[in-house]
Amino acid sequence: MKDTVVFSVPWFDIVARSLDACAEPYYVVRPNDYVTVLAATAEGSFLLVRQYRPAVGAETLELPSGHVENGESPEAAARRELAEETGYESGRFELLGTLVPDTGRMGNKLWCFYADGATPVRSPVIREEGVELVQCQPSELIRQVGEGKIDHALNLAVLLLAAMRRHLQVGEDRGHPQ
């Protein structure tokens, strides 16, 4: 197997992967790894962001997320993205899991984190332009998912991992973080 970068921009490379069994190369989109954070405030609400996404041509409601920069650890990226997008920080980040976003064409990982006890950042932080902070109660978060208002598949995967670790209740006692 041999990889050749055939196109590159700051956000991703397109790689032609030569496989012994195929005459034609297989093309892989290789962005930096992603991070996504389910953050609960000290008061028990969850931090989400609303922003316009050109790829889907609509405003979306999402968990704070972004790319891991070169030389940055996934946890450092998660901390940075939480602060940049929400203006909040947390002293405790728990890795919920590492997922593969798309086995068909993507060559990166999604690092899924849970942060609890989030409080406003003490030092000045430059919030990301065009990103609106949305705080919601746990039951409201579950309702938003059920109504399809939160429909980002990678965010839904993080919510599932959080529910499996009992940070998000989706049954009878819906939504309450533990």
Instruction: State the architecture of 32-164 in CATH terms.
Output: Alpha-Beta Complex (3.90)
Summarize pLDDT for 65-84 with one digit per residue, the tens: 999 999 999 999 999 999 99
What is the per-residue pLDDT for 177?
53
Q: What is the three-class DSSP state of 122? A: coil
Q: Where are the domains of the chain?
A: 1-31, 32-164
SS3 140: helix
**Can you name the residues that pair with 135 across neighbouring β-strands?**
47
Strand pairing partners for 112?
Answer: 36, 97
Residues 159/168, Cβ–Cβ less than 8 Å: yes
For residue 178, pLDDT over 80 is answered with no
